[in-house]
Amino acid sequence: MRSGLFRAVAAAFVVSMIHSPQSWAQAGWPAKPVRVIVASSAGGNADVVMRLIAPELEKRIGQPLVIENLPAASGMQGTEAVAKAQPDGHTLLVGTSSQLVFNLALFDPMPFDLVGSLRGVAMLNAVPLMLMVNKDDPAKTMQEYIDRLKTAPGKFLYGSGPQGTTTHVVGLMWARAAGVDVRHVPYKAGAEGLRDLMAGRLSHQFDVAVTAIPHLQGGALRALATTGRTRLAAAPDVPTADEQGLKGFTGYTWNSIAVPAKTPQATVDRLNREFAAVLKMPELRERLAALGSEFFDAMDPAQVDRFYASERAQWVPLVRETNQKTR
């Protein structure tokens, strides 16, 4: 009698574990490989950062991370894939300002409820951008370059990643702040624009420091300014836009981890702790800092969501004012 009752209770418990999202956290996350969707191209900022973090995270959680790049539709494809995934902690989004903030202003209509269907887990790093020009460009300073752009309104071309990404929006806001009229050329990936910049087919491009610095070090391109609050330790000779006359002008992208909104709190908290532990590793921080990274103070998941909200409140109205749309 007792053994039969035990078997019945055990069977009911197994069934409930199969059907309850909360059960993953109770049973022990992760129970299988973790899919990590990067909503931008391979070799881009978010991809580089996640691939540096992944080996250390795998050691801690005992499961492989399967990184998948889904950059289509300005990252909306990858963002939506995570929003609609099983909320069990086994599908993560490497979310940036492009997908989680700017796209709210640029897509009309939005294909899904971006704000309500995702929740924040952890902040990884923040990275300013760099104003990149061809190595043979005659301008030695940002102001010299601005003065030349003003001599031929609408004639100079600037490149970026897909419309709505940080490289596009920061380039747009910089042109407005500098009072110049330049034409925008979006690419499927920022790296494609940089290749055209090297070949002399573009005038400039704003690129995230993570991917810009290797080109500086290789001598293929030059940087006239950074959009950080202070100069980068990895590129100390490059002045900020602010110190060259565009007072208060800054522009950052950031990388974060987000998951489907209904992911169990215990799983979200575990993910937060694991990413925090990895980001404290001195060797990893040094590697990220060498690529221009800055780091956030520790945030719990609720603080990450509040950070998203504050970024949206600041940037979405500004981007909407430009009347830029992605359909």
What domains are there in the chain, each with its CATH number?
31-127+253-321 (3.40.190.150), 128-244 (3.40.190.10)
Q: Using 50, 70 and 90 to split pLDDT, how confident is the model at 24?
A: very low
Asked whether residue 19 carries a pLDDT value surpassing 60, the answer given is: no
More confident residue, 3 or 104: 104
Confidence at residue 150, expressed as pLDDT on a 0 to 100 scale: 96
Q: Using 50, 70 and 90 to split pLDDT, how confident is the model at 8?
A: very low
Cα separation of 231 and 63, whole Å?
Answer: 38
pTM (whole model) above 0.75: yes
Confidence at residue 98, expressed as pLDDT on a 0 to 100 scale: 87
Asked if residue 171 lies in contact with residue 165, where contact means CB atoms within 8 angstroms, the answer is no
Which DSSP category does 182 fall into? -
β-pairing, 252-260 vs 91-96, is antiparallel
β-pairing, 34-38 vs 65-69, is parallel
DSSP 215-236: HHHHTSEEEEEE-SSS-BTTBT
Cα separation of 125 and 256, whole Å?
Answer: 7
Structure tokens at 41: 């191209």
More confident residue, 165 or 221: 221
Residue range 51-60, pLDDT digits in tens: 999 999 999 9
Asked if residue 245 lies in contact with residue 143, where contact means CB atoms within 8 angstroms, the answer is yes
Confidence at residue 12, expressed as pLDDT on a 0 to 100 scale: 39
